[in-house]
Chain A
Amino acid sequence: GAGVSQSPSNKVTEKGKDVELRCDPISGHTALYWYRQSLGQGLEFLIYFQGNSAPDKSGLPSDRFSAERTGGSVSTLTIQRTQQEDSAVYLCASSLATDYSNQPQHFGDGTRLSIL
């Protein structure tokens, strides 16, 4: 079946511009996660959505970052006024939420974001 789909696969933009990254989770997965993978920081948790519950935004690095999940499916991560330190690979994952220990997170191929 289809896995987690992320778009675009690559994004190059100028400093100060806004960007939107999209994630389409595996059908039926109610939990959705965003992570950031960068050279200096490794893999960092950004945000978590579960059904209609309030998202856990504790990993978002600044108020320039926001995310939403419409209709319990597709999610969009938005970065406003991008900075060079935002350059990274942004990974999305989804899982069945019944038992996090036994339900692995399935990752997309990521969006590689480069800020000029």
Chain B
Amino acid sequence: AQSVTQLGSHVSVSEGALVLLRCNYSSSVPPYLFWYVQYPNQGLQLLLKYTTGATLVKGINGFEAEFKKSETSFHLTKPSAHMSDAAEYFCAVRGEMDSSYKLIFGSGTRLLVRP
């Protein structure tokens, strides 16, 4: 069964610093991977997705993620953090076989941005 592990429930960075949020997955089929962001009292917004093709995926708000099959990772990065990036971030993997419509989420990482 698929699973997603996000290392670090909280990550704190200074404004302008590199953002790195870690995600490792487990999947018995070629994974389709997603990053979502959740602002307070809001739903989830898709940041980016990896399906097939290029392993470096660019998303909205300057975020990108690299799919590394050998490391079963899909870490999210942004070169320079902005105060508005403070939110909770969720990595997710698509369900397998007949459950491909399901998203299996990691436990989330809350990003704090210090001025």
| Chain A residues within 8 Å of B, Cβ to Cβ | 4, 31, 33, 35, 42-43, 45, 48, 50, 56, 59, 91, 93, 95, 97, 100-102, 104-110, 112
Contact = CB atoms under 8 A, between A and B. Distances in A.
The main secondary structure of chain A at its interface with chain B is: strand
Interface of B: 32, 34, 36, 41-46, 49, 51, 90, 92, 94, 99-108
A105 B41 contact: no
Nearest to A112: B41
B100 A45 contact: no
A42 B45 contact: no
A35 B103 CA distance: 9
Contacts of B108: 42-43
A109 B42 contact: yes
Contact of B41 (A42, A97, A109): A109
